[in-house]
Structure 1
């Protein structure tokens, strides 16, 4: 996987925008309303594998365009999927004009004239798709050009793109070689869902739904109402799908308990407070301190009291290592079964 990065931070403020414009001049005509003298802090990182490029951009407000004459001079015709974190994108694509709110992906073709304007500084990711590499998805991709991808499938795609962004810097060569297939199958499942396409995107879709579940559990870890019903609502998934997702974790209740036990371990290692063990158990919705202590010992091989005493002595034990990060789960879905 080839990695490139460009940033304007080390340049004189009066030269920053010109350098940024020159960085993109083969693909876009770039303008800014802030003025050159104000400086233009921006950075672009790219990860390229085969006919797929994952691009992360952090910049001041900017507008980019590909006029018809520019398209003739710059014969790049990749599809581009964009997801902005904070900025609304004002888009013109051919004869279409539309606004895309933050968090909603949209797809354009560099082979067509376009213009995108953003009025606030932002962080955005883009995935550029080579027409040769993604030729098998041409009809679906072309049909989605110039349409904000809203609704449940758009939200699922946005969550998947977030996992790609978090994961791609850490991928091994073998994992990166499978990234194109994962992206293609997920795009097909979200742009033109069918039983066949959803089944084909099984691994990346499961990783994305699992990330939704992880976030939902984290939000409600201290709530006694946390259970299967709440997770289904929060993760926008069915009960049967939730059970399948967490089957390898011992089930819904076991997964929630393990997350609560991990949280309790961190609390007991934190010497900035003096919560009693009973209070920690109560905070994390255990029925009583003795049941909490038994579950804690089964999970970690030590008692809550032993962890607290070790922390107070300056030698807190390390909990068992589990990669429950988005990047960890995404890498799992790229590995061979």
Structure 2
């Protein structure tokens, strides 16, 4: 899936903010924070048949959707936003907006909205009312509220997982993806036993991703084990073991991730570390135990992978499908779904 990209980074400083305002024209009025001189910013938007996702990186600003804008551009999608910094403002009808960093919140483009934040990166999941009408009571009730609960934060992790997954998705995956997003949003914004049951696979997927990220950040730590994981990701030992039962258990999964890192290190022709050093850094007893585990996992010896990398045989290019028409504004992206 190819996203639509817009950036002001290559423009002269005096033109950057005007260009950014043009990108958001019809959706938000954008005000520059006091003291800002340039406005180097970027927006990446993935548009699907029934929903969209954007990744915005921008300096401090205030985004506003007032009555005049509602009348002239009546887009009423819900937006679930995950920001990297605190967001303050209002959600219309006297509702105050005050959301901590890294906590998702719900806004409706069908209502007045003021969103003020410092320089950050944020993900925004756009859900059209026609495609997600069954979510209306829950999302309208959650308007301008921080989803600062365990399930709310899990929804934030899930939105991040969506972004990382888009590059691997095929058109045939889209209907299933829409249903998965619907189930996950329902479960995390209005949890009930029925909704949690329906979204179990998505919840488990997100929990696995959270654990995987922690493991990958700590592969070189010999103290990495199930007890540490339970403490760091807020999960019981039973939940953790169930999550990785099909992987042969938690220890087996950690070893698998360490071997994958070893494979990456060996495939890097610029990495001159010896196999013994790589094995030691990844907490294997010695080069022999690393080589045995590596051969069992990949069917190759570490020396084979290193030799292939030296010969330039590891490069693989994925074909990409291009779109014939590229939207020029965020509004055009939103009108596609």
In structure 2, distance between residues paired with 1:111 and 1:203: 31
2:108 is matched with: 109
- Alpha-carbon spacing, 1:255–1:66, altered in 2? closer, same or farther (3 Å): same
- Alpha-carbon spacing, 1:315–1:49, altered in 2? closer, same or farther (3 Å): closer
1:282, distance to aligned residue in structure 2 (A): 4.3
| Partner-residue secondary structure (3-state), 1:26 | coil
Report the TM-score, using the length of structure 1 for normalisation: 0.81
1:226 aligns with 2:227: no
* Aligned positions of 1:233-252 closer than 5 A: 233-252=231-250
In structure 1, distance between residues paired with 2:255 and 2:232: 18
| Partner-residue secondary structure (3-state), 1:46 | strand
Gaps of 5+ in 2: 317-337
2:75 is matched with: 76
* Aligned positions of 1:148-297 closer than 5 A: 148-267=146-265, 272-275=271-274, 277=276, 280-287=278-285, 290-297=288-295
Q: Which of 1 and 2 has higher RCO (CA within 8 Å, sep 6+)? A: 2
- Alpha-carbon spacing, 1:178–1:308, altered in 2? closer, same or farther (3 Å): closer
In structure 2, distance between residues paired with 1:309 and 1:92: 56
Q: Deviations over 1:17-65 (max 9, x none)?
A: 22322222212122113579x3322222222223312122222222111
Q: Deviations over 1:121-178 (max 9, x none)?
A: 2221111111111111111111111111113112211111111122224422112333
**Contact kept? 2:2, 2:167, Cα under 8 Å:** no
- Alpha-carbon spacing, 1:197–1:283, altered in 2? closer, same or farther (3 Å): same
In structure 2, distance between residues paired with 1:261 and 1:3: 32
Q: Deviations over 1:241-266 (max 9, x none)?
A: 32232222222221112222333444
1:335 is matched with: none
**Contact kept? 1:260, 1:284, Cα under 8 Å:** yes
**Contact kept? 2:99, 2:145, Cα under 8 Å:** no
1:27 aligns with 2:27: yes
Give the count of matched residue pairs.
Answer: 314
In structure 1, distance between residues paired with 2:306 and 2:137: 63
**Contact kept? 1:92, 1:115, Cα under 8 Å:** yes
Q: Which moved more, 1:159-168 or 1:286-295?
A: 286-295
| Partner-residue secondary structure (3-state), 1:188 | helix
Report the TM-score, using the length of structure 2 for normalisation: 0.81
Q: Deviations over 1:168-213 (max 9, x none)?
A: 2442211233322221111111111122111211232222111112
In structure 2, distance between residues paired with 1:283 and 1:4: 40
- Alpha-carbon spacing, 1:172–1:34, altered in 2? closer, same or farther (3 Å): farther
1:106, distance to aligned residue in structure 2 (A): 0.8
**Contact kept? 1:105, 1:150, Cα under 8 Å:** yes
1:334 is matched with: none
**Contact kept? 1:268, 1:307, Cα under 8 Å:** no
In structure 2, distance between residues paired with 1:28 and 1:98: 16
RMSD: 3.0
1:301 is matched with: 299
1:292, distance to aligned residue in structure 2 (A): 3.7
| Partner-residue secondary structure (3-state), 1:243 | helix
**Contact kept? 1:269, 1:316, Cα under 8 Å:** no
| Partner-residue secondary structure (3-state), 1:25 | coil
Identify which of 305, 310, 335 aligns with 1:314.
Answer: 310
Q: Which moved more, 1:7-16 or 1:140-149?
A: 7-16
- Alpha-carbon spacing, 1:3–1:92, altered in 2? closer, same or farther (3 Å): same
